Amino acid sequence: MEDKSPGGTRKFLLVAVETIKEQASGVFVQRVQDYKLLVKLRLTITVVFSSVMAYLIASAGPVNWLAIGILSLGGFLVTGASNALNQVLEKEYDRMMKRTANRPLATGRMTVSEAVMAAGIMSVIGVTLLALFNVWAAFFGMLALLLYAFVYTPMKRISPIAVLIGAFPGALPTLIGAVAVQGELTMLGLTLFALQFFWQFPHFWSIGWLGYEDYHKAGYKMLPSKNGQQDRNTGWQSFLYALFLLPTGLLPYFLGVSGLISAGIVLLLSILYVVFSWNFYQQNDRKAALRVMFFSFLYNPLVLIALFLDKI
């Protein structure tokens, strides 16, 4: 029989309240997870790291933590907006790939209008924060967003040249960090840009080689190979671009920004990157591609850290 006593009613209400709280908590957690996926949180954090490290390398005197905070937030929001727009444009294709099938737009957990509104708000606030430094920082921030979302994204389904196009917005965070503190284009800023620019080709192509089936299923043409196949040309191109890092990595030393220790570290890392890329070309297999990919995750942060620590 149903308990209609005051105690039974109170127990029922407590259970109902707890159930509602659990459901609300679950919805909130899911929304947080969806926005983390929308902005590609881990990727965005690495982008912000590159920009902040470039700022520190290019700066003189004590660290301005307020400026670091503004640069970090501005860069995070602009990058997050770029990634959100990327997913808006690719939601139909994301459903076809295992690694992207759970994204909020691909699953329908988030509407296109919500994602576009979030991207709009993030881009306006992000570019405004970068403009607090100077017009160069704001310009390159907006340029990175436009190139990534509206040129690189659609080009991925047309030609492997998309990787070349994508390397420009991919390298701009370091230039943004440098111009934010220096207020102008300098050889140091362009050198940091070039380091991140050339680093990306073996990085992206090893990932493209490993995920070929997924990319092919969605119609992406990411490999610099004949008919987009997993042939040696991918490793060869990776090797050629890695070679550019050897002279580029020594430029900070010749510019008087770094010393012999950091120059030696950067040179060693570049040589290893070249060797791994050469093996990728020679072996043309999953193991070699994995070596390039995993080392690429280490190369960029280690180079930036080495250049920064040499100043301390």
Torsion angle of C-alpha atoms 149, 172, 71, 111, degrees rounded to 10 = 10
pLDDT at 215: 87
Please identify every stretch of the chain with a pLDDT value under 70, giving residue numbers as ranges. 1-26, 226-229
Nearest CA to 303 among 162, 171, 207, 185? Answer: 171
Residue 91 in contact with residue 106, Cβ under 8 Å? yes
pLDDT at 59: 93
pLDDT at 61: 80
Q: How far apart are CA 277 and CA 237, in angstroms?
A: 9
pLDDT at 12: 62
Q: How far apart are CA 77 and CA 214, in angstroms?
A: 29
**198-236 pLDDT, tens digit each:** 999 999 999 999 988 888 888 888 887 766 567 788 999
pLDDT at 1: 47
Q: How far apart are CA 68 and CA 177, in angstroms?
A: 9
Q: How far apart are CA 172 and CA 34, in angstroms?
A: 26
pLDDT at 18: 60
Count Cβ neighbours within 10 Å for each residue of 248-259 and write b for 16 or more, e otherwise: bbbbbbeeebbe
